[in-house]
């Protein structure tokens, strides 16, 4: 415990002496590492969300646009810190791709009287004002509809494909449950996204969650972590293992992760995660809705992707979430050595691994190809036999 305090103090001291925490990202060598600024979606509760658009050089008119949503405590750079990233593979296959920073990430802000001072606070390790109390429910109620509306204005498509990692996928379940009919998401891919835990309480994650929640009251955990792009500190292995498997991810990717991708979840989101980590079901912030218990209402075509080395969303938890889904069209893909892959994939390895571009992304995009609405009609009209992966309603071993 004393060692953890020394680490926190050392990082705080170092970052406090480094100016330009926000400027560091604005000046990144590649647009892939900078905050999203191609356009902005505006939520009904007053947040401005940055969006980046990856255009296909050969767009396929039969394919709906893809929205990629990152997880809690990160930003949209999550998807593009590797050189062979998923947006590039999707655009090569004819998809237009949109990534966006959820509230509290990138240079997003709640518009109003604190906006100007918060721009200055982002250059320091201190928290912004008036931007701390949002919850995961707010992402569901406001951020998801805002980005869907933005993409519809840009493309004319009311429907999209949604690919989410971790919380970026988890929030689709309550969105669909609370917004019936929910056809705006035509096909859903969740990578490391579970809302049922097989084993509880998750003591290590509970401890980490409560520690970060306490720290975030007065400081920015995301900006405190950015100097770690330049050096490694004792004890970091215990933190890293939650995110990735060391032998599966390049050092440059890890450096970019700490330098450009870490953000602040916010105390409100931390509070909402507490009962999930303790009791195993994702609940609304006021605990009046058990989102896990309503998974039977989710009928959207769904692909869940899980890694054998994932600590946060492990295989048994993914299988429970998968089994509870009401969709008649659902598929579960597992990535690990016993399934014939090069490595056991950890939580972020599913996107960051040096092998992901060859092992994970192609089957993901193949599944999307089979689930585009016009393609589905064409299959039925010619009486072709559907691909088994499309109609699978049991976990793929």
Q: How many CA atoms lie within 13 A of 329 on its CB side?
A: 16
Averaged pLDDT for residues 111-136: 80
pLDDT band for position 191 (cuts 50, 70, 90): very high
Q: Is 50 exceeded by the pLDDT of residue 380? A: no
Please say whether the dihedral angle defined by the alpha carbons of residues 179, 184, 188 and 192, taken in this order, is positive or negative.
negative
- What's the CATH fold of domain 2-380? Rossmann fold (3.40.50)
Cα–Cα distance, 302 to 70 (Å, whole number): 17
Q: Which two tokens stand for residue 289?
A: 């809705």
Torsion of the alpha carbons at 172, 290, 303 and 199, rounded to the nearest 10: 130
Given pLDDT bands bounded at 50, 70 and 90, which one contains residue 28?
Answer: confident
Cβ distance 211 to 323 under 8 Å? no
For 166-170, 262-266, 356-360, which range has the lowest pLDDT when averaged over its residues? 262-266
The mean pLDDT value for 6-11 works out to 44
Give me the mean pLDDT over the 354-374 stretch: 96
Higher pLDDT residue, 71 or 232? 71
pTM of the model: 0.88
- Per DSSP, 262 falls in state B
Is residue 144 within 8 Å of residue 171, measured between CB atoms?
Answer: yes
Of 17-26, 58-67, 292-301, 359-368, where does mean pLDDT reach its minimum? 17-26
Task: Render pLDDT for 270-319 as a digit per residue (tens, 0 to 9).
Answer: 899 999 999 999 999 999 999 999 999 999 999 999 999 999 999 999 99
DSSP of 358-386: HHTHHHHHHHHHHT-HHHHHHHHHTTPPP
Angle at 335 between CA 137 and CA 168, to 5 degrees: 15
pLDDT at residue 375 greater than cutoff 90? no
Token output for 159: 């429907």
């Amino acid at each position: 415990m004393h060692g953890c305090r020394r680490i926190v103090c050392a990082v705080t001291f170092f970052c406090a002496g480094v100016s330009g925490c926000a400027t560091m990202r604005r000046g990144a060598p590649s647009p892939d590492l900078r905050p999203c600024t191609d356009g902005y979606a505006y939520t009904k509760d007053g947040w401005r969300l940055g969006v980046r658009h990856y255009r296909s050089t050969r767009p396929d008119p039969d394919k709906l646009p893809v929205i990629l949503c990152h997880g809690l405590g990160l930003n949209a750079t999550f998807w593009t810190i590797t050189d062979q990233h998923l947006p590039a593979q999707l655009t090569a296959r004819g998809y237009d791709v949109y990534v966006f920073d959820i509230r509290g990430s990138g240079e997003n802000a709640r518009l109003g009287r604190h906006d100007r001072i918060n721009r200055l606070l982002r250059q320091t390790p201190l928290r912004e004002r008036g931007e701390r109390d949002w919850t995961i429910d707010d992402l569901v109620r406001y951020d998801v509809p805002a980005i869907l509306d933005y993409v519809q204005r840009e493309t004319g498509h009311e429907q999209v494909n949604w690919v989410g990692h971790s919380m970026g996928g988890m929030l689709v379940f309550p969105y669909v449950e609370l917004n019936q009919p929910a056809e705006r998401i035509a096909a859903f891919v969740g990578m490391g996204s579970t809302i049922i835990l097989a084993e509880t309480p998750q003591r290590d994650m509970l401890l980490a969650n409560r520690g970060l929640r306490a720290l975030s009251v007065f400081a920015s955990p995301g900006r405190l972590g950015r100097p770690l792009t330049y050096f490694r500190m004792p004890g970091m292995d215990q933190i890293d293992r939650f995110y990735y498997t060391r032998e599966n991810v390049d050092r440059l990717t890890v450096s970019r992760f700490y330098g450009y991708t870490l953000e602040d979840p916010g105390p409100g989101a931390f509070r909402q995660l507490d009962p999930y980590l303790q009791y195993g079901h994702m609940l609304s912030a006021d605990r009046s809705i058990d989102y896990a218990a309503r998974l039977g209402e989710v009928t959207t075509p769904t692909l869940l992707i899980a890694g054998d080395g994932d600590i946060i969303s492990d295989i048994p938890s993914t299988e429970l979430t998968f089994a509870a889904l009401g969709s008649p069209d659902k598929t579960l893909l597992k990535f690990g050595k016993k399934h014939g892959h090069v490595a056991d994939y950890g939580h972020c390895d599913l996107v960051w691994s040096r092998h992901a571009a060859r092992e994970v992304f192609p089957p993901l995009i193949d599944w999307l190809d089979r689930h585009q609405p016009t393609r589905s009609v064409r299959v039925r009209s010619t009486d072709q036999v559907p691909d088994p992966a499309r109609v699978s309603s049991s976990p793929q071993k």
